[in-house]
């Protein structure tokens, strides 16, 4: 890390602690313009041995637990990179080196599964109907004899799928790892419209790495950092593909 980048991170760590309450909103809005700071924070996250990693994770959590929307968004933009760093280090079984990243991911998860009253959230999703037009199709253009107006009308009933309540977690284990990470990606995708350009780029990069790590085609790619195959759950992959789709 360059001296100027390190100085930018250290200044960011110190200035928020001395910020008066009345200035937090304007400060949070101004963070969107600090692209050099964001790039420097990515470098810190990508270096597990950095002494700045723990204070950076702590401050990102302070941002996320605040009620200021722009501060929460600032933290969310790093979720793909944080998830990748956790997964890449977990393949080496050296989990001690990313304990602060695991703590940050768990803290965000435990905050997100609860509403403002402290009750577990239950998310609902409405599945689109073939009989209703969408950005992808017009019912009249499907053209199949089997899908007549009468048949399509039977698909018109709204179907709602529920997710949750999700249990609180005190640590990430092999059994609950992808349940937590999948939910975090779901939260990230919900905020993708507000992410600066570096964030969806990071999402696409980590997706590409996951698809080549441990496979023969990795030798034809520039990324050579992780040699082991990283296994993920199907639910995690669905959220990853959803994020890539909207990013593109």
Tell me what the mean pLDDT of segment 79-86 comes to.
94
Q: What are phi and psi of 159, to 5 degrees?
A: -115, 125
- 83-131: per-residue pLDDT in tens? 999 998 887 665 555 789 999 999 999 998 887 777 777 777 676 666 6
197 to 148, 186, 244: CA distances (angstroms) = 44, 19, 13
- 18-35: per-residue pLDDT in tens? 888 888 999 999 998 899
- 162-214: per-residue pLDDT in tens? 666 778 888 888 889 999 999 999 999 999 999 999 999 999 999 988 888 87
CA angle 123, 124, 126 (to 5 degrees): 155
**β-sheet bridge partners, residue 124:** 162
């Amino acid at each position: 890390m360059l001296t100027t980048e390190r100085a930018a991170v250290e200044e960011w760590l110190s200035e928020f602690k001395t910020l008066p309450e009345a200035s937090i909103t304007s400060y949070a809005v101004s963070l969107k313009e600090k692209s050099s700071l964001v790039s420097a924070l990515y470098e810190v996250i990508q270096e597990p041995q950095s002494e700045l990693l723990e204070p950076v994770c702590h401050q990102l959590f302070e941002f996320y637990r605040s009620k200021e929307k722009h501060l929460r968004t600032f933290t969310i933009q790093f979720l793909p990179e944080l998830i990748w760093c956790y997964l890449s280090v977990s393949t080496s079984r050296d989990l001690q080196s990313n304990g602060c990243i695991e703590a940050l991911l768990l803290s965000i998860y435990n905050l997100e599964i609860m509403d403002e009253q402290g009750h577990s959230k239950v998310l609902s999703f409405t599945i689109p109907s073939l009989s209703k037009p969408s950005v992808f199709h017009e019912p009249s253009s499907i053209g199949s004899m089997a899908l007549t107006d009468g048949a399509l009308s039977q698909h018109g009933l709204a179907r709602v799928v529920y997710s949750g309540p999700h249990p609180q977690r005190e640590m990430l284990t092999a059994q609950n790892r992808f349940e937590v990470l999948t939910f975090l990606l779901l939260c990230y995708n919900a905020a993708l419209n507000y992410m600066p350009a570096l964030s969806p780029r990071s999402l696409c990069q980590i997706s590409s790495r996951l698809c080549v790590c441990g496979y023969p085609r990795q030798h034809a790619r520039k990324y050579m950092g992780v040699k082991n195959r990283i296994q993920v759950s199907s639910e995690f992959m669905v959220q990853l593909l959803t994020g890539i789709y909207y990013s593109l």
